[in-house]
Amino acid sequence: MTATVDILRDLHRIHTQLTDLRARLERCPKQLDAAQARLVRAESGHEHQKAGIQKLTLASKEQELLLGEREARVDILKGKLRECSSNKEYQTLNDEITAINENVSSISDEILQQYDHLEEEQASLDTLHNDLEDSRTSLVETESYIAQEESSLATEISRIELQLKDAEGDLPHDYRSEYSRMTDARGPEGLAEVIDNCCGTCFQQISLQMESELRVGKMVQCKGCAAILYSSQ
Ligand SMILES: [Zn+2]
């Protein structure tokens, strides 16, 4: 009779172990997905930042061109100033030069601001680039770790499944169909150790009659969760 208790305890332990190993195996592809998603995010962030910098660079090149044109215009006007014949003409040219110079100075300020902005954006790009490299490395490492983990978990699961078959072979015949039904449906929760007169799975108290039935080696199921009970008392 004691032997059945030991077999049930053993089966309970094996089912718990198998459930844990299978859950770990199931998590493997999810870990891989997460590493891949991180890389995709890093790539898109990096691309987006690069495109923004290209746009800013183009805008500042246009401003530089404009600045060059304005400065050339001032040179031409200064030449005309030397050749002009009337005060009125001189005044008109001088006004135009002053206006253009004001414009030149505001374009120069804008260009300087664009340079500062570009520098900040470039620093962000460097950070994103590092993140991209980290994500690539992390994906390669995750792929190799997961391949190893999957293979060792699969080996371990096969080994434990054999142990389960062996232990199930020792189970008394009158337990077998209910045991299969319960463990197929609920895994390790199909079995429960009685702890302090309670079911170890759902904690419902067991009756005196159930206790005495357990003591004489009868198959007893919890009234709360239907787990097949075993007790070392
Ligand atoms: Zn229970």
End-to-end CA separation in angstroms for the chain: 12
pTM for the structure as a whole: 0.75
Q: Are strands 191-195 and 228-230 parallel, antiparallel or unpaired?
A: parallel
Report d(CA 213, CA 221) in Å as an integer.
10
What is the token pair recorded at 197? 């007169």
Looking at the DSSP assignment, which residues form a beta bridge with residue 199? 194
Are the CB atoms for 232 and 195 separated by under 8 Å?
no
Instruction: Give the Å distance between the CA of 182 and the centre of ligand 1.
Output: 12
At residue 2 the predicted structure's pLDDT band, cuts being 50, 70 and 90, is: very low
Condensed to tens digits (0 to 9), the pLDDT of residues 150-183 reads 999 999 999 999 999 999 999 999 999 999 999 9
What is the token pair recorded at 230? 């075993």
Instruction: Give the Å distance between the CA of 222 and the centre of ligand 1.
Output: 5
Report d(CA 119, CA 111) in Å as an integer.
12
Instruction: Give the Å distance between the CA of 206 and the centre of ligand 1.
Output: 9
Instruction: Give the Å distance between the CA of 179 and the centre of ligand 1.
Output: 14
Instruction: Give the Å distance between the CA of 165 and the centre of ligand 1.
Output: 25
Q: Which domains, from first to last, does the chain contain? A: 2-6+10-170 (1.10.287.1490), 172-233 (no CATH)
What is the token pair recorded at 182? 């319960």
Instruction: Give the Å distance between the CA of 229 and the centre of ligand 1.
Output: 8
Using alpha carbons only, how large is the chain's radius of gyration in Å?
Answer: 40
Instruction: Give the Å distance between the CA of 223 and the centre of ligand 1.
Output: 7
Report d(CA 231, CA 193) in Å as an integer.
6
Instruction: Give the Å distance between the CA of 199 and the centre of ligand 1.
Output: 5
Percentage of the chain modeled with pLDDT above 70? 99
What residue has token string 């198959």?
Answer: 219
**H-helix or E-strand spanning residue 156:** helix 87-169
Instruction: Give the Å distance between the CA of 203 and the centre of ligand 1.
Output: 6
Are the CB atoms for 9 and 230 separated by under 8 Å?
yes
Instruction: Give the Å distance between the CA of 17 and the centre of ligand 1.
Output: 20
Q: Is the pLDDT of residue 233 over 80?
A: no
- The mean predicted confidence, pLDDT, of the chain is 95
Condensed to tens digits (0 to 9), the pLDDT of residues 4-63 reads 999 999 999 999 999 999 999 999 999 999 999 999 999 999 999 999 999 999 999 999
